[in-house]
Structures are given as structure tokens and as C-alpha cells.
Amino acid sequence: MIKELKAGFEKVFGGGEGARTYFAPGRVNLIGEHTDYNGGHVFPCALTIGTYAVARKREDKLVRLYSENFKELGIIEFDVEELKNVKEHDWANYPKGVIWAFKQEGFNIDGGFEALFFGNIPNGAGLSSSASIELATAVILKDIFNVEADMIKMVQLGKLAENKFIGVNCGIMDQFAIGMGKEGHAVLLDTNTLKFTYAKIELKNAAIIIANTNKRRGLADSKYNERRAQCEEALKDLQGEINISALGELNEEAFEKYSHLIKDRINVRRARHAVYENQRTIKAVKALEQNDIETFGQLMNDSHESLRDDYEVTGIELDTLAELAWQQPGVIGSRMTGAGFGGCTVSIVKNESIDGFIENVGRAYEEKIGYKADFYVVNIGDGARKLDLL
């Protein structure tokens, strides 16, 4: 694939020396949803699918970007000194935002470059194609401009780009999982402190299956920011009486004791999800450490129900996929993953049941929803990096 992308790069931008190749994965969160901006724990892993890029430094200040996924948009061009979010620039606002974030941090991005991108993550599916593009751009900038930044700093700058340049008030999970991913492991991340540990994923006779609803959703257009504001309001109410800086600092018992302080009844439900989901995530990782995959699966199911009932971010498509999954033989657990409002479910399915799972859930989903879902059996891979040149 790298040879094909380099040939594509030469076709779009012309021949010459100096083109280098990069990769940033997509991610799936196994459990711990909408906890990352609430100071809780998340448990994502990087995938072996993601965003590839071929890039080369220019002698002027022009940045020229091309995506194999959006060929109809052609080359998108802008000056490195004029970085504004322009609607017509579409996907290219993500790399542009990362350049802006690096410059905000004081890094000397003093010239232009040209880059060809290709992603094999389904767009808008909830596997974090936007954060994948951001971290691919970050490793490009670090390499070709000799930026002295470690991966955690680049993760933080990717989040800054998403928050302040794109305008999506996301937490740090997506960028962190993509930047810090490790083959065969998920990352237990405390989003309040950025302390993290790797946990080996040993499913033995089972596999991770992503099911894409094929309902397109854009985070910036969704109710994501509204949910975050509701949690912030709940936190402010609680802080009137208790000394906490994030909902993730509470356990279930403390939440039940103090939830009466939250004035809005809807916000009680939003905060309850944030608190209980954080505790579920901690319990799920402990279960995994004890090889108790059944408890892990049950906690996945409980997570989906909380996201459906308390957080209200699922919708008929995700609920249909999860509920159909729960009915299938060999399913250990299934839940929506990502922000919701469309996107994907993640399921752990015993190997001997995979074909039947895909056939049965796929057929029933299409009958109910009216269009097909797509299924991917995925592997856990390493984080964003420069690739060896071929």
C-alpha cells in the first residue's frame, strides 16, 4: 500500500526527493464513554486501520493537501501564515488546525509542505478519523520541521486543534489512544491526571467486532457539546457543597448522597452516567486482569444501557445493533462506542460465532432500519508514527 500511496503522491504533486510516509491509527473505546471530559477513566485501543500520509517539505510557505478519500475536492491550498477554519476546506481544516496549534505552542513551523492522505477508517463512523488525521499531521510536523515535542505534547496539541480551531469540545481520549496506542493492549487512562497504564487484551477464543450503523454523524453538528455543558452545570451545582474538580472523582455511593444538589433533573441523569460509567470502566479492567471476560462483557452491556437511558446518545440504529447482538450466541458483550448519535458498536464475540453474528445481526438490522450495517473484525495496533521508507 505504501508504494501505491507514494506513486499517488508523485502523480498529484510531481516527482522529486524527500517524500516520507506516516501513519496514525483509528481507535475504538472498549468501555468508558463520555467520561473523558468528566475527569474519569477511559479504556480505548488503537486499531490497525487508520490514516496514511505521504508528505514532503516545500521551499515556500504554501501548504498543499490532497486526500484520496475526497478526490473531488482536489488539492486544498493555504499559506502557513494564514490559518483560518474555512468551510470550503472541509477535511483539510483538521491538519490546518494542528499546524495552528503547533504555532500557538511556539513551535517554529516556518514553511510549507505538501501531503497526500488516505484513510481506511469509515468516515463519520465513530472510530475517530478526525483525531487520526490530527495525529498523522502532528508526526509529519515533528519530523519535517524537527519539532522537539514528545507524543503526549502532540496528543494535547491535537486536542487543542479540535477544541479551539474545529470547535468540538471533545476530551483527550481520541488523540491519546491514537498517539499512545500499543499493539495487543488497551490503555487505561485517567483523563483527570493523564496517568495511564497498558492492559494486555487476551481474548483467546474471541474477537473484537465493530459494527457500523452507516448513519453519518458529525460531532460538531451533534448534541455532543450540549451533553458536555449539562455535565459542567451538574458539576457546578455539586461544587456548591462538596470539594471536587470533576465528576470522575465521585463513586456511586457519593453520587447518590449528593445528587439532590443538582438542580436540573435531566442533568442528574447526565451526571449519573458520567459517575457510574467511570466506575464501570475501573471494574472492567480489573475483571480483564482476572481473566473474567464474562464480567467485562456484562459491564459493556450495562454501559450501553446507561448511554441509552441516562445520557441519551444512542438512537434507534445503535440500540438496534446492540440489542440484536445481545440476542446472539457467542456474544460476550456489546455496546455503542464513540460519541453516539450514529457511528458504531463494539462487540466481543467468540470465534466460532463470528460468521453467524455478522449474518444474523446484519440481516435483522437491514430489515428494521432499511439499510445495511458494515462489520469489521479488528486488530489492536501501535500508535501514530513515521513509517520506514520503502
| Contacts of 367 by beta carbon, 8 Å cutoff, 6+ apart | none
Beta-bridged to residue 62, according to DSSP, are 79
Cα separation, 139 vs 360, in Å, equals 41
DSSP designation for 59: S
Q: How many other CB atoms sit within 10 Å of the CB of residue 90?
A: 12
Cα separation, 116 vs 234, in Å, equals 44
C-alpha cell at 346: 463494539
List phi, psi (to 5°) of 15.
-75, -170
Whether residue 42 contacts residue 32, with contact meaning beta carbons closer than 8 Å, is answered with yes
By the 10 Å C-beta count (0-12 exposed, 13-18 middle, 19+ buried), 390 is classed as exposed
List phi, psi (to 5°) of 377.
-90, 115
Catalytic annotation present for 110: no
Cα separation, 118 vs 116, in Å, equals 7
- Tell me which residue of 50, 39, 30, 24 sits closest to 180, measured CA to CA: 24
Q: What is the DSSP string of 188-246?
A: EEETTTTEEEEEE---SSEEEEEEE------GGGSSHHHHHHHHHHHHHHHHTTS--SS
Q: Looking at 174, 190, 237, 302, which residue is catalytic?
A: 174
- C-alpha to C-alpha distances, 359 to 123, 182, 371, nearest whole angstrom: 23, 31, 14
Measured N-to-C along each axis, helices 93-104 and 151-160 cross at an angle, to the nearest 10 degrees, of 120
Catalytic machinery residues = 174
